[in-house]
Amino acid sequence: MTAKSPLGDFLRTRRSQLRPEDVGVSSYGERRRVPGLRREELALLAGVSASYYTRLEQGESLSASPEVLDALAGALLLDESERRYLHDVARTSRRRPRGRRPAPERVSEPTRQLLNALGNVPAIVLGRRSDVLAWNRLGHALFAGHLDPGAPERPEERPNMTRLVFLDPHVRELYADWPSKARAAVGNLRLVAGRHPEDAALHTLVGELSAKSPEFAAMWADHRIRACSVASYEMRHPLVGSMTVTQQTLSNGPGPVIVVATTEPDSPSRGALTLLAQATVPPGHSPCSAEPARTEPRAGLNRPAR
């Protein structure tokens, strides 16, 4: 573990975000040079010595037990996702992982069959770094209709949803509450980084986004963790207007996940989604039929990248 270990960074950042009144610590009206709790205050809340906690923050100790980590999580008011992340970064820090490029991610045939069977439900398959591995026709039309529909089939050209959220104007404008979507993307990437600290491609992605987007850099430095498996967003689609969709992540253990977007029955949003399905159906195909993920949309309906 180094002086700037993931564990130390996380503890230090989250400690600085807690005010004394958040955890019942009396400050007696004193002025503080820095915001947040002092190290000795957090150590007292967690039931560990101040010197030991300081070594954890400074990356000088590898000995944090699960019980100590749980005590620190309680003192920091972490939720369940943040607690798991704390345990992940502590465990991987002890292993001193070396950066390596993992094996390419692929879409299994059963996953492709499920993607196609979803028919007029927008769906995309994402790898652990949020690379788009596949999408069905309506998933492409909803999330990134301005991109080449065949891009996910070419590994060197695969879109990355986190990169699109921060760097692509079209995708950014899709979300009425863009900051909420952006925080969810960063929070999920944080979880992945805790579980896979050896992933060199993930480090490259984080470095690129930090350099190109001050907003991403600030959110990444905030160390907020967010396991966002279900979330509702108002989307402003350039072809059919506004709709509120619920994005759900379907997972079957380790590996790629499927993200689907649904709408309330008999709602204006359902009508907008139905209109989008009709507007993007290829000539000679029924808008109600399930179609392969590689099917090209009707020419002329993709917007150029801006």
**CA dihedral for 205, 207, 213, 216, sign (positive or negative):** positive
Residues 6+ apart with CB under 8 A from 65: none
Rounded mean pLDDT of the chain?
Answer: 85
pLDDT given for residue 105 in this prediction: 87
**pLDDT over 60 (residue 3):** no
Q: Which two tokens stand for residue 298?
A: 């009707």
CATH class label, 6-95: mainly alpha
DSSP string, 271-288: HHHHHHHHHTPPTTS-TT
DSSP three-state, residue 235: strand
Instruction: For residues 138-151, give the mean pLDDT.
Output: 95
Q: Which two tokens stand for residue 54?
A: 């300081």
Domain covering 109-279, topology: Beta-Lactamase (3.30.450)
**pLDDT over 50 (residue 269):** yes
How does pLDDT run across 36-95, given as a tens digit for each residue? 888 998 999 999 999 999 999 888 876 788 999 999 999 999 988 889 899 988 887 666
- Do 6-95 and 109-279 agree at the fold level? no
How does pLDDT run across 151-207, given as a tens digit for each residue? 999 988 999 999 999 999 999 999 999 999 999 999 999 989 888 888 889 999 999
Domain ranges within the chain, ordered by starting residue:
6-95, 109-279
More confident residue, 35 or 43: 43
CA distances from 45 to 37, 49, 64, 134, 252 (A): 10, 10, 16, 47, 38
In terms of pTM, does the model score above 0.85?
no
More confident residue, 287 or 224: 224
Question: Within 10 Å of residue 100's Cβ, how many Cβ atoms?
Answer: 9
Residue 259 belongs to what H/E stretch? strand 257-262
